[in-house]
Chain A
Amino acid sequence: MNKLKIENVSYRYSNHYQTTYALREVNAQFQSGQFCVIEGKSGSGKTTMLSLLAGLDLPSEGTIYLDEKSYRELDRDKLRRKQLSIIFQNYNLFPMLTVQENIAYPLGLTGRKKGNWKERINEILESVGLNETMQKKFPGMLSGGEQQRVAIARTIASEAPIILADEPTGNLDTANSGRIVEKLKKLSHEDGRCVILVTHDPDIARQADVLYRMSDGRIVEKKNRIGDR
């Protein structure tokens, strides 16, 4: 993956009674190896933007391009299986699957040969600060911080070049929050992945390579700090 580009994207939610614009003519660009943050208050449209980037829906107007190919032309299910991985604020792990099974789930979808995947899962768990004994536990038996680290482990296992994180630290304490952000930064800077993180936390926003500040569905500010790094 080289470039993820949003061009004049607008998105509206509508029902029988009203239509609400969540995004209005948004333009943005994300690249591999960048830790990008979309900052904004609740209702500013940042989660909708992340969802569109995930290909969960198409924009009402405008286009999203991945390496110059429009999302409209791409198989977006395949895109999510192979190119994208999403981390949610509320972790979104399968409650009836163990930690190991949750992490291995994307492997099954991509059809990759599992090989020595158990060892790989152990390595990934270690890399997110969880030990081997966690493997057989169910998500309900873990703390919020641990669950979010499992979600990150799932993302790592998927080997997707783009990671979309929707307020991943929203439910975590400061220590856990710091650990998660550090891990995501490492994934972008060391593994060369493109991490796009949505948050309303200014402390996290300050750590971004590229920062987009949103308000009322529009990007009101863009900061590129790559040169500062």
Chain B
Amino acid sequence: MYRIKYAVRNKSRSFLLILISFIFISFIFIYLDSIDGNYRALENLGEQIPVSICLTDVSGIRQQGLRIQEKTADHLEQLDVKEKVLTAESYGNVSRGGQDKEKISVFLTAANDASAFLLEPESLTVSMEEFETMLSEDAGVCLLSREYAEERGLDCQPGDVLELNLYSGKYDEIGQVDGFEKVASTQIEIGGFFQGRVYDSIMTEEPNVICSADWLRGQYAAEGKPFYYSSARGVVGNPMELNAWKEKARELSFFPMDTQKPEDIAQIALSVDDRNYIQTASKIKKNIEILKIFVIPVFVLLILLEALIFFLSIHNQKREIFLMRCLGMKRFEIILQLLLEGSALAVIGSGAAMAVLLCAGYGFPADTWLKVFLAFMAVQFLGSAFSAVLVCRKNVLYIGKTY
């Protein structure tokens, strides 16, 4: 009872011990959170700095107009490539209408995602949502180029159906189109019009018709004809395991890029844009390493400091300890009182620190809170016990002479 009064009245000393506990516990948790935060940043880095990939020719120059086999595109699934954007191209002709049903040539580009094109909402007669839906579904609906329709005198409206003959190109040794082979005769509904440029590269042929890649693939499959994608890109699903991912890509026969090699349309290489990701990830990893290197020294230092402070706090009470001994209190009783007092103050300080940290949004698993708290209390207890035993073991006559 008197000890409680003593602790309450000796405000500065009690406050100091509470504050020390508060600061130490806060520091430990903030330090742990810093390591945790770096890990979280590393895990979520793929969202901030996506590792994008695309298929190219071996030289890495050409990313469009490739001849990507279906199985190669399917391998991207196995590589856990997200946000995949595939395009395919096909030649063909459509009937102009009227009496003569004159055929006019047409160039189709199919895609599975609207982001394959540079088209802005204002350049479409349909909404972006409708455009997205059109491309993602296996529907025979297309967007027709307004300029193409006007130049070629195609008098048609959304909802009209075009008679379409599809042709695949025959390629020579250097990848140039050298003749055409008919694939299928089919119909496609005009869902709307687009106008303006579709690509920002003059290397890429501008399409007259945009349709769904799945639909186009289905037309080729129905006739048993080989289907090729002309481009493929996406982002790596889990960039944390980038080296393993690259190894798997090699096993799936993706060539690494070789800028020394001449352009070769027949061989498909995989281009991985991971420079920014790796630079940033390296910095974060370095941070984590530094923080981890200092975990033990920092914690040991804190532990020693904490033990020292509690040690000094008890050492400063030599006079009271001497007096208690003179009044007949047993050593054990004195040690117990000092330990209980120190522990109570440490619990208040560390409890307050944890409450403040919780309110500030520091989220740790319950066992982490408990482990750190128990470790802290154990250290405080050992420091206090060491000091209390040391002071109380001392011959009272010596204490009496030195206080």
Q: Name A residues whose Cβ lies closer than 8 Å to a Cβ of B.
A: 13, 48, 51, 54, 56-57, 77-82, 84, 86, 92, 94, 96-97, 101, 105-106, 108-110
* Contacts A48-B397, A56-B400, A57-B396; A86 near B326 (Cβ below 8 A): yes
Q: Which residues of chain B come closer than 8 Å to A109, judged between CB atoms?
A: 327-329
B330 at the A interface (CB under 8 A): yes
- Give bound CA distance, A82 to B322, whole Å: 17
Q: Which residues of chain A come closer than 8 Å to B322, judged between CB atoms?
A: 92
A81 touches B397 (CB 8 A): no
- Which residues of chain B from 1 to 18 have any CB-CB distance to chain A below 8 Å in the complex? 1-2, 5-6, 9-10
Distance between A135 CB and nearest chain B CB, rounded to angstroms: 15
In the complex, 23 of the A-B residue pairs with CB atoms within 8 angstroms, ordered by the A residue number, are A13-B397, A48-B397, A51-B396, A51-B397, A51-B400, A56-B397, A57-B397, A77-B329, A77-B330, A78-B328, A79-B328, A80-B325, A84-B328, A92-B319, A92-B326, A94-B6, A94-B320, A97-B5, A101-B5, A105-B2, A106-B327, A109-B328, A110-B328
B330: nearest chain-A partner, CB-CB: A77
B395 at the A interface (CB under 8 A): yes
Q: Which residues of chain B come closer than 8 Å to A84, judged between CB atoms?
A: 328
- Give bound CA distance, A67 to B154, whole Å: 131
Name the contact of A80 in the complex, choosing from B2, B327, B398 (C-beta under 8 A).
B327
Q: Which residues of chain B come closer than 8 Å to A79, judged between CB atoms?
A: 328
B2 touches A56 (CB 8 A): no
Extra A-B contacts (7), CB below 8 Å, given A13-B398, A109-B329: A56-B325, A57-B395, A81-B328, A97-B5, A97-B9, A101-B2, A110-B328
Distance between A161 CB and nearest chain B CB, rounded to angstroms: 14
* Contacts A57-B395, A77-B328, A105-B327; A96 near B6 (Cβ below 8 A): yes
Q: Which residues of chain B come closer than 8 Å to A86, judged between CB atoms?
A: 326
B329: nearest chain-A partner, CB-CB: A109
Q: Which residues of chain B come closer than 8 Å to A94, judged between CB atoms?
A: 2, 6, 320, 323
- Give bound CA distance, A48 to B2, whole Å: 30
Q: Name B residues whose Cβ lies closer than 8 Å to a Cβ of A.
A: 1-2, 5-6, 9-10, 319-320, 322-323, 325-330, 395-398, 400
Q: Which residues of chain B come closer than 8 Å to A101, judged between CB atoms?
A: 2, 5
A56 touches B327 (CB 8 A): no
Q: Which residues of chain B come closer than 8 Å to A13, judged between CB atoms?
A: 397-398
Q: Which residues of chain A come closer than 8 Å to B1, judged between CB atoms?
A: 108
- Give bound CA distance, A54 to B395, whole Å: 13
- Give bound CA distance, A106 to B326, whole Å: 10
- Give bound CA distance, A94 to B397, whole Å: 18
A164: nearest chain-B partner, CB-CB: B326
B331: nearest chain-A partner, CB-CB: A77
Q: Which residues of chain A come closer than 8 Å to B329, judged between CB atoms?
A: 77, 81, 109
A80 touches B6 (CB 8 A): no
Q: Which residues of chain A come closer than 8 Å to B330, judged between CB atoms?
A: 77
Judged by DSSP, the binding face of B is: helix
Q: Which residues of chain A come closer than 8 Å to B6, judged between CB atoms?
A: 94, 96-97
A81 touches B10 (CB 8 A): no
- Give bound CA distance, A96 to B320, whole Å: 10
Distance between B326 CB and nearest chain A CB, rounded to angstroms: 5
Q: Which residues of chain A come closer than 8 Å to B325, judged between CB atoms?
A: 56, 80
- Give bound CA distance, A13 to B402, whole Å: 14
Distance between A13 CB and nearest chain B CB, rounded to angstroms: 8
A56 touches B328 (CB 8 A): no
Name the contact of A96 in the complex, choosing from B9, B327, B328, B397 (C-beta under 8 A).
B9
B400 touches A96 (CB 8 A): no
Interface centre among A51, A94, A97 (most CB of B within 10 A): A94
Distance between A5 CB and nearest chain B CB, rounded to angstroms: 21
Distance between A83 CB and nearest chain B CB, rounded to angstroms: 9
Name the contact of B323 in the complex, choosing from A48, A51, A92 (C-beta under 8 A).
A92
- Give bound CA distance, A199 to B327, whole Å: 21
- Give bound CA distance, A79 to B329, whole Å: 10
- Give bound CA distance, A39 to B169, whole Å: 126
Distance between B333 CB and nearest chain A CB, rounded to angstroms: 9
B399: nearest chain-A partner, CB-CB: A56
A158: nearest chain-B partner, CB-CB: B327
Q: Which residues of chain A come closer than 8 Å to B327, judged between CB atoms?
A: 80-81, 105-106, 109
- Give bound CA distance, A108 to B3, whole Å: 12
Distance between A49 CB and nearest chain B CB, rounded to angstroms: 11
Distance between B385 CB and nearest chain A CB, rounded to angstroms: 20
Distance between A66 CB and nearest chain B CB, rounded to angstroms: 14
* 6 closest Cβ pairs, A-B complex: A81-B328, A80-B328, A56-B396, A96-B9, A96-B6, A77-B330
B5 touches A96 (CB 8 A): yes
Q: Which residues of chain A come closer than 8 Å to B395, judged between CB atoms?
A: 56-57
A15: nearest chain-B partner, CB-CB: B398
- Give bound CA distance, A97 to B325, whole Å: 17
A56: nearest chain-B partner, CB-CB: B396
A97 touches B328 (CB 8 A): no
Interface centre among B5, B10, B322, B397 (most CB of A within 10 A): B397
A56 touches B326 (CB 8 A): yes
Q: Which residues of chain A come closer than 8 Å to B397, judged between CB atoms?
A: 13, 48, 51, 56-57
Interface centre among B325, B327, B330 (most CB of A within 10 A): B327
- Give bound CA distance, A32 to B396, whole Å: 26
Q: Which residues of chain A come closer than 8 Å to B10, judged between CB atoms?
A: 96
Distance between B212 CB and nearest chain A CB, rounded to angstroms: 85
A86: nearest chain-B partner, CB-CB: B326
- Give bound CA distance, A38 to B330, whole Å: 28
Q: Which residues of chain A come closer than 8 Å to B2, judged between CB atoms?
A: 94, 97, 101, 105, 108
- Give bound CA distance, A101 to B330, whole Å: 20
Distance between B147 CB and nearest chain A CB, rounded to angstroms: 94
Distance between B298 CB and nearest chain A CB, rounded to angstroms: 35
Q: Which residues of chain A come closer than 8 Å to B5, judged between CB atoms?
A: 96-97, 101
Distance between B216 CB and nearest chain A CB, rounded to angstroms: 89
